[in-house]
Amino acid sequence: MKSRLTKSAGDHFEELLNNPPIAIKELLKSSIRKDGQPAKKYPSGWRMKDIKIDLLPNGILNGGVYVFWWLGNTEESREVFLKNICSFNIKGKKIKGINKINEIIVKVDNSWLQLYGKHIPLYVRKTEESIYERTRKHLKINQKEYTGNTTTDQLRKGINELFCNCKDTSSLIVDNIGISYINLHGAEEAINRFYLENYAIGKLMPIINVDVER
């Protein structure tokens, strides 16, 4: 399969920004039983919609580049955001001469958040196939308290670390987070996805994507 650049990353980025975020709640269904308790398999009380029977947003079953947002960047929204966050550590380069890794402390504050626009960007990623399937893996929304640690649930792990003062991060996600995306599906769009993902990270400065040199 051949892949080539068909449009500038900047043009694709404008298309991405023109797609307003969809609240995560629109991708979920309740798993609360008649007795008011969550189903055993879904302790958070939520599960992803069924692709075979439930109505889903256009194009979300295809591949592309996607952004998770904290919805709203008002004083009220930032108050909820800041009330729940903690500083988090990133592992840097090994310190020369001693067997120790340099740990960088990242502190997000109100002045940082004010640099953003209408919504606060949290995480940018790409996928060749279903954005919906990747969202399911990223969120682990059935878990009330995050217990995983895999390469596919980086978003939930990042949310758990960033919002360490919140015990129920599943509710935090349902109430405050949304997703926007642009379809660039399949192997033939690999080059476009690669450049757009990197461009979007640089332009949006999403918090959970923060990394340092190795």
Q: pLDDT tens digits, residue range 107-140?
A: 999 999 999 999 999 999 999 999 999 999 999 9
Average pLDDT, the chain: 91
pLDDT at position 89 over 70: yes
Cα 130 vs. chain centroid, distance in angstroms?
Answer: 15
Q: Is 213 within a domain?
A: no
Q: What is the rounded distance in angstroms from the CA atom of residue 181 to the CA atom of residue 207?
A: 18
How many domains would you assign to the chain? Answer: 1
Has residue 69 been placed in a domain? yes
177 is a domain residue: yes
Between the CA of residue 130 and those of 4, 45, 51, 55, 171, what are the distances in Å? 21, 24, 11, 15, 24
**The predicted structure's pLDDT at residue 148:** 73
With residue 93 as reference, give the H or E element that holds it: strand 88-95
Residue 15 lies in a domain: yes
Q: What is the pLDDT of residue 214?
A: 47
CA angle (54, 47, 206) in 5-degree steps: 100
Residue 50 has pLDDT above 70, yes or no: yes
DSSP 192: H
- Kindly give, in sequence order, each residue whose CB lies less than 8 Å from that of residue 113, ignoring residues fewer than 6 positions away: 73, 78, 81, 82, 120
Assess if residue 196 is contained within a domain: yes
Does 214 reside within a domain? no
Say how far apart CA 61 and CA 120 lie, in whole Å.
Answer: 24
In a domain, 13, yes or no: yes
Could you give the CA distance from residue 207 to residue 161 in angstroms, rounded to a whole number? 11
Q: Is 171 part of any domain?
A: yes
Domain around 74 = 9-204
Q: What is the pTM assigned to this prediction?
A: 0.92
